[in-house]
Chain A
Amino acid sequence: MHPILADTQKLLVYLVAWLLIALLLSALIVVPGEQAWPLGFAFSLPISFVYAFICLSGWYLCRAFPLQKTDTMRLLTVFLLSAAISSSIWVLLSSIWSWVLIQSGVFNVPSSRPIVETRLLFGIGMLLYLLAVAIDYLIVAFEESRDAERRSFQMKVLAQDAELRALRAQIDPHFLFNSLNSISALTMQNPKAARDMTIKLADFFRTSLKLGAQEFITLEEELTLIRMFLDIEKVRFGARLKFEEHISDTALQTRIPPLLLQPLVENAIRHGVAHLLEGGTIKLSTDANGRLLNVVVENPVDPDTPLSRGTGVGLENVRKRLHTLYGTDGVLSANSDGTRFKVSVTFPVRK
């Protein structure tokens, strides 16, 4: 619906504007001296208000032909044509009304001529219609800018939210406490290894804080972080944890949101490899096909261990972030055949 019709206050302002137009029209009739004021008003007021509503129809054309996206010739054609049609209808209705007024005999007028010259009225109708269209375009522009403002505000809020979630996700307490316990065990037995592990842990946290503060990082940077993470986990899991990556060189420079993939690898350990006596291999592969980047994390799972224990939460966070950043273009899918678990994320490439 037209925004003027949807709001009583706006409608009132609009009709007051048309009241002024009606007064001008009356003056046009009366000032030349042939007609009296009562007839001027009786004629102009009704036809002005009728035209006020006819002109509102221009709104829908404004919506259908956005100013920036339509070429000028086309715009001119559309609006001159619709102005001519609207004005013709108006002139026709005015002539009928003029005829009714004259026939009624209330006003003392010579019946030979219409109250207003038809050609003049048609011209006025065209101008008024085009003026209404111009105002409609102003309203459209105003609403669009307000919408854009609201959207960008919403985006900011969501991005902040995702950042907080990412920060929370990156410092997994289990990971930290288990690593500290490993260090505690190593201090007596192998002090050098304990120091190495401390430094690895510090490096990992420092890097994740640095990357997490950025809006986008390269896939290469994310992979470096994942390798650091796996290095620490290997101290805990020993030979049980193996890692394979299949990354195409073209994908390395792709820009991705930070810490998007690390939680997937963490999940693969916590809910996959950690439950297997012999451990297993986590496979990470990427496939960049022009517009989209696809990343797959695959890990073996123990068929006897139920999947549910918290697997969903980590994945749900990643899914929400993808949605916030890319809308429907960001997709996460997960499936399991009982022995292997596979997560696939796809999102638009930004170089």
Chain B
Amino acid sequence: MTTIQAILVDDEELARTLLREYLAEYPDVEIAAECANGFDAVRNIIELKPDLVFLDIQMPKLSGFEVLELIPHDLAVVFVTAYDQYALQAFNVHAVDYLLKPFTKERFAETMRLVRQRLQGRDSKVLDQLVHSVRQREKPLQRVLIRNGSQVHVIPVDQIEYVEAQDDYVAFVTKGKKHLKQQRLSEVEEQLDNARFVRIHRSYILNLDYLARIELYAKDSRMAILKDGTQLQVSRSGYEKLKARL
């Protein structure tokens, strides 16, 4: 019998106790770790590669949604929360299930049935979609989360000077340092507050707070000069957008 490796994530000891008690009736489920905050959750999920995660939403450091963004998507996620039903319904189709606190053993058994179903046909697309719908909903973005191994960096958006596309990655630039994340630039553009962040070029999104001036470089070609002297190319349509904002 193959065991299911599970991780419990909840900042409340009692809430984890309850999950442990309910899971005791499933001998093929093994609790690999218990975490009380988002950072711990990300680290443990990366290092232990569980099959199943029970995830609270409101937690210290990182919310359940943010944890989801930072982990691989080939596992089954069950939200366990007192969060209101309506907010969660949007994600209903993508998460394996969501348990509203408090819940019965019978309701939990239903969840476990769905978990087994999901684990048989493991498919990361489901969680990709979930992350996408969370990103759509949590706009505008207030901080960018970047994972480096099992380390998590949190970058507040007002520290981002510009974002640059680099092959399959985007680089968030803060104080001359580049933080790489696997994401499409168009998706970043959608998430950021478009009153402050402008797509000035196929490869760049600029934070207007860091713009010093715009210079004509050649005919129909302009450069955005940032406060620290960095020069970024501005396309013609990018220049139109900048003119409209300034």
Give A contacts to B, CB under 8 Å.
173-174, 177-178, 180-186, 188-189, 235-238, 274-277, 302, 304-306, 308
Q: Are B14 and A177 in contact (CB under 8 A)?
A: no
Q: Are B14 and A186 in contact (CB under 8 A)?
A: yes
Cβ contact of A302, chosen from B11, B61, B142, B156, cutoff 8 A:
B61
Cβ contact of B100, chosen from A177, A236, A275, A276, cutoff 8 A:
A177
* 24 contacts across the A-B interface (CB closer than 8 A): A173-B82, A174-B82, A178-B12, A180-B101, A180-B102, A181-B12, A181-B15, A181-B82, A181-B102, A182-B15, A183-B102, A184-B101, A184-B103, A185-B14, A186-B14, A188-B21, A236-B12, A274-B58, A275-B60, A275-B61, A277-B36, A277-B61, A306-B143, A306-B156
B61, B82, B83, B143: which has the most chain A beta carbons within 10 Å?
Answer: B82
Of residues 82 through 140 on chain B, the ones whose CB sits less than 8 Å from some CB of chain A are 82-84, 100-103
A173, A185, A238: which has the most chain B beta carbons within 10 Å?
Answer: A185
A162 to B21, CA, bound (A): 43
What number of residue pairs across chains A and B have CB atoms under 8 A from each other?
65
> What is the CB-to-nearest-CB distance from A193 to chain B, in angstroms, rounded to a whole number?
9
A186 to B102, CA, bound (A): 12
Residues in chain B near residue A186, CB distance under 8 A? 14
A185 to B12, CA, bound (A): 11
Q: Are B60 and A185 in contact (CB under 8 A)?
A: no
Instruction: Give the 8 A-B CB pairs with smallest separation, nearest first.
Output: A185-B18, A181-B101, A177-B82, A184-B102, A181-B102, A185-B14, A306-B142, A182-B14
Q: Are A181 and B84 in contact (CB under 8 A)?
A: no
Besides the known contacts A236-B12, A306-B156, 18 further A-B residue pairs in the complex with CB atoms under 8 A apart: A173-B84, A174-B58, A178-B82, A178-B101, A181-B12, A181-B102, A182-B12, A182-B14, A182-B15, A183-B102, A184-B18, A238-B13, A274-B11, A275-B61, A277-B60, A304-B154, A306-B143, A308-B142
Report the count of interface residues on B (CB-CB < 8 A).
24
Q: Are B61 and A304 in contact (CB under 8 A)?
A: yes
List the A residue with the shortest CB-CB distance to B10. A181
Residues in chain B near residue A237, CB distance under 8 A? 12
Residues in chain B near residue A305, CB distance under 8 A? 60-61
A189 to B103, CA, bound (A): 16
List the B residue with the shortest CB-CB distance to A237. B12
A181 to B22, CA, bound (A): 13
Q: Are B18 and A304 in contact (CB under 8 A)?
A: no
A308 to B143, CA, bound (A): 12
> What is the CB-to-nearest-CB distance from B17 to chain A, in angstroms, rounded to a whole number?
5
A177 to B11, CA, bound (A): 15
> What is the CB-to-nearest-CB distance from A219 to chain B, in angstroms, rounded to a whole number?
31
Cβ of B233 under 8 Å from chain A: no
> What is the CB-to-nearest-CB distance from A44 to chain B, in angstroms, rounded to a whole number?
74
Residues in chain A near residue B14, CB distance under 8 A? 181-182, 185-186, 235-236
List the A residue with the shortest CB-CB distance to B84. A173
Cβ contact of B17, chosen from A185, A274, A308, cutoff 8 A:
A185
Residues in chain A near residue B83, CB distance under 8 A? 174
> What is the CB-to-nearest-CB distance from B145 to chain A, in angstroms, rounded to a whole number?
10
Residues in chain A near residue B101, CB distance under 8 A? 177-178, 180-181, 184
A117 to B7, CA, bound (A): 110
List the A residue with the shortest CB-CB distance to B83. A174
> What is the CB-to-nearest-CB distance from A311 to chain B, in angstroms, rounded to a whole number?
13
A33 to B195, CA, bound (A): 90
Q: Are A274 and B60 in contact (CB under 8 A)?
A: yes
A308 to B58, CA, bound (A): 14
List the A residue with the shortest CB-CB distance to B18. A185
Of residues 156 through 175 on chain B, the ones whose CB sits less than 8 Å from some CB of chain A are 156
Of residues 2 through 30 on chain B, the ones whose CB sits less than 8 Å from some CB of chain A are 11-15, 17-18, 21
Q: Are A189 and B17 in contact (CB under 8 A)?
A: yes
List the A residue with the shortest CB-CB distance to B142. A306
A11 to B17, CA, bound (A): 81
Cβ contact of A177, chosen from B36, B37, B102, cutoff 8 A:
B102
> What is the CB-to-nearest-CB distance from B162 to chain A, in angstroms, rounded to a whole number?
21
A182 to B21, CA, bound (A): 13
Q: Are B61 and A185 in contact (CB under 8 A)?
A: no
A220 to B13, CA, bound (A): 32
